[in-house]
């Protein structure tokens, strides 16, 4: 018996951890499978798409020690376990090229592929320095930048997040060429400088899997690879080979500043967005003495207008932005107030947090 009467919840948890990277349609059929390895009395679950690999362990004390491995359709197995009644005791048995799943009066037979054909990513990390930070801090940091990553841009180096570690500083930067998000924090220890662009899928899975706890997450960087460990999870990912834009040149230094209540401007933009052009999503900022007017309109000649009283005393401006980009930034910070900083009608907007240099968000202007 490969697995004998383990509660379905204990099997479902590791599967849910790793199957986020599994696609049903793969160039190699075995990439749609999960590798299940029995090591003594414990189990190791592995999934990969050849760019990223995630593994996790199920520690069991009720099994006969053995060393055995199978691969089986990840999504099918996960769905079968998910739909079983809570508290079900599940047994796995291998017969020729099939995996037999039994629980109560239910029985399922799934096709398997040889475990030796499963293409695990080779470990290229030897004696790398281990960088540690709490899961909760890193997840919060990711949340403030990940929305600015590009999606399938031909400039492949934009399809991810730049991670910089230098001394006791950790910096994350993401940009799609239209906006840029920067976030930083102080680490408890000091480390040698390393810099890597982590792919979009790696970032997305990390954000999904990380908890808001003080438990530690560990990074180990090699030239073309990073290994990330937390809880019982080990993630190995390729690093994007490319030169990330010089973010320091993108972040402006303006003199026209406007402090706003984050929820007030967020809700005003949400209302204005309803009548913005569906394709271009533009809104106009008309900034005058003590007033910010937000205007949107669409191809059906509908218009929205929002006026917000301010303490602004700078240069009068009329400038357009993509409202979705502004909403992304405001939705992913939690402070009461934000600062909008402006240059001229052809310049970007800089969004920052009062008395905090650890977050910067730049959005390029658009013609409306």
Say how many C-beta atoms besides its own lie within 10 A of residue 299's C-beta. 9
Mean pLDDT across the stretch 305-331? Answer: 96
Q: 28 and 74 share a domain?
A: yes
Is residue 1 very low, low, confident or very high in pLDDT (cuts 50, 70, 90)? Answer: low
**CATH classification at residue 191:** 3.10.150.10
What sign results for the dihedral spanned by CA atoms 189, 191, 193, 199? negative
Residue 226 lies in a domain: yes
Q: 261 and 290 share a domain?
A: yes
Residue 125 lies in a domain: no
Which pLDDT score is estimated for 212? Answer: 92
Residue 122 lies in a domain: no
| Beta-carbon-side half-sphere exposure of residue 267 (alpha carbons within 13 Å) | 4
What does the alpha-carbon distance between residue 299 and residue 157 come to, in Å, rounded to a whole number?
35
Q: 43 and 89 share a domain?
A: yes
Q: What are phi and psi of 271, to 5 degrees?
A: -70, -45
CB 207 within 8 A of CB 142: yes
What does the alpha-carbon distance between residue 58 and residue 14 come to, in Å, rounded to a whole number?
7
Is residue 65 very low, low, confident or very high in pLDDT (cuts 50, 70, 90)? Answer: low
Q: 315 and 264 share a domain?
A: yes
Which pLDDT score is estimated for 240? Answer: 97
Q: 46 and 93 share a domain?
A: yes
Q: 191 and 267 share a domain?
A: no
Q: Which residues fall within 8 angstroms of residue 122, CB to CB, at 6 or more apart?
A: none
Asked whether the predicted pLDDT for residue 22 surpasses 80, the reply is yes
For 90-113, write each residue's pLDDT tens digit.
999 988 889 999 999 999 999 999
Q: 309 and 221 share a domain?
A: no
Q: What are phi and psi of 24, to 5 degrees?
A: -65, -40
Asked whether the predicted pLDDT for residue 292 surpasses 90, the reply is yes
DSSP state letters, 327-345:
HHHHHT---SEEEEEE-ST
What does the alpha-carbon distance between residue 204 and residue 235 come to, in Å, rounded to a whole number?
12
Burial class (CB in 10 A: 0-12, 13-18, 19+), 359: buried
Residue 172 lies in a domain: yes
What does the alpha-carbon distance between residue 8 and residue 108 come to, in Å, rounded to a whole number?
14
Q: Which residue has the tokens 């739909």?
A: 83
Of the residues 216, 249, 282, the one at which a domain ends: 249
Q: 245 and 139 share a domain?
A: yes
Residue 233 lies in a domain: yes
Of the residues 75, 95, 117, the one at which a domain ends: 117
CB 60 within 8 A of CB 42: yes
Asked whether the predicted pLDDT for residue 264 surpasses 60, the reply is yes
CB 338 within 8 A of CB 326: no
Q: 53 and 8 share a domain?
A: yes
Of 308, 317, 327, 325, nearest to 269 by C-alpha is: 327
Residue 124 lies in a domain: no
Of the residues 117, 147, 162, the one at which a domain ends: 117
Strands in 356-363's sheet, in edge-to-edge order, are 160-175, 179-199, 356-363, 349-353, 337-342, 256-261
Mean pLDDT across the stretch 208-237? Answer: 95
User: Higher pLDDT residue, 265 or 104?
Assistant: 265
Residue 334 lies in a domain: yes
For the ranges 75-79, 93-97, 178-182, 329-333, which has the lowest average pLDDT? 93-97
User: Higher pLDDT residue, 23 or 350?
Assistant: 350
Residue 242 lies in a domain: yes
Average pLDDT, the chain: 94
Q: 146 and 239 share a domain?
A: yes
Count the domains in the chain.
3
Q: Tokens at residue 242, please?
A: 């490319």
Q: 150 and 228 share a domain?
A: yes
What does the alpha-carbon distance between residue 7 and residue 367 come to, in Å, rounded to a whole number?
58
What torsion, rounded to 10 degrees, do the Cα atoms 240, 241, 245, 248 define?
80
Asked whether the predicted pLDDT for residue 362 surpasses 60, the reply is yes
Q: 25 and 83 share a domain?
A: yes
CA distances from 212 to 58, 143, 169 (A): 22, 12, 20
For 145-167, write each residue's pLDDT tens digit.
999 999 999 999 999 999 999 99
Structural domain of 269: 252-363
């Amino acid at each position: 018996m490969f697995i004998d009467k383990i509660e379905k919840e204990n099997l479902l948890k590791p599967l849910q951890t790793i199957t986020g990277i599994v696609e049903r349609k793969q160039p190699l059929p075995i990439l749609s499978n999960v590798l299940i390895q029995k090591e003594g009395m414990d189990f190791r679950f592995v999934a990969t798409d050849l760019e990223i690999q995630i593994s996790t362990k199920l520690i069991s004390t009720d099994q006969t020690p053995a060393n055995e491995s199978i691969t089986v359709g990840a999504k099918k197995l996960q769905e079968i376990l998910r739909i079983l009644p809570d508290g079900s005791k599940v047994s796995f048995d291998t017969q020729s090229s099939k995996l037999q799943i039994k629980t109560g009066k239910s029985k399922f037979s799934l096709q398997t592929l040889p475990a030796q054909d499963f293409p695990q990513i080779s470990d290229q990390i030897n004696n790398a320095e281990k960088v540690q930070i709490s899961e909760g801090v890193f997840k919060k940091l990711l949340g403030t930048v990940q929305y600015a990553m590009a999606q399938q841009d031909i400039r492949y180096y934009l399809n991810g997040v730049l991670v910089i570690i230098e001394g006791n500083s950790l910096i994350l930067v993401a940009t799609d060429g239209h906006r840029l998000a920067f976030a930083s924090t102080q680490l408890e220890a000091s480390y040698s400088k390393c810099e890597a662009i982590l792919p979009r899928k790696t970032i997305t899975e990390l954000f999904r899997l990380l908890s808001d706890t003080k438990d530690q997450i560990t990074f180990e960087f090699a030239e073309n690879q990073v290994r990330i460990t937390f809880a019982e999870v080990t993630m190995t990912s390729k690093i994007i080979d490319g030169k990330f834009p010089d973010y320091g040149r993108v972040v402006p230094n303006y003199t026209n500043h406007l402090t706003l209540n984050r929820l007030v401007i967020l809700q005003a933009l949400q209302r204005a967005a309803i009548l913005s052009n569906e394709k271009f999503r533009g809104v106009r900022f008309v900034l005058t003495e003590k007033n910010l007017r937000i205007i949107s309109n669409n191809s059906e000649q509908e218009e929205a207008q929002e006026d917000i009283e301010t303490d602004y005393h700078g240069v009068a401006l009329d400038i357009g932005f993509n409202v979705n980009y502004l909403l992304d930034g405001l939705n992913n910070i939690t402070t009461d107030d934000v600062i909008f900083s402006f240059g001229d009608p052809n310049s970007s907007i800089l969004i920052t947090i009062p008395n905090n240099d650890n977050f910067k968000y730049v959005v390029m202007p658009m013609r409306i």
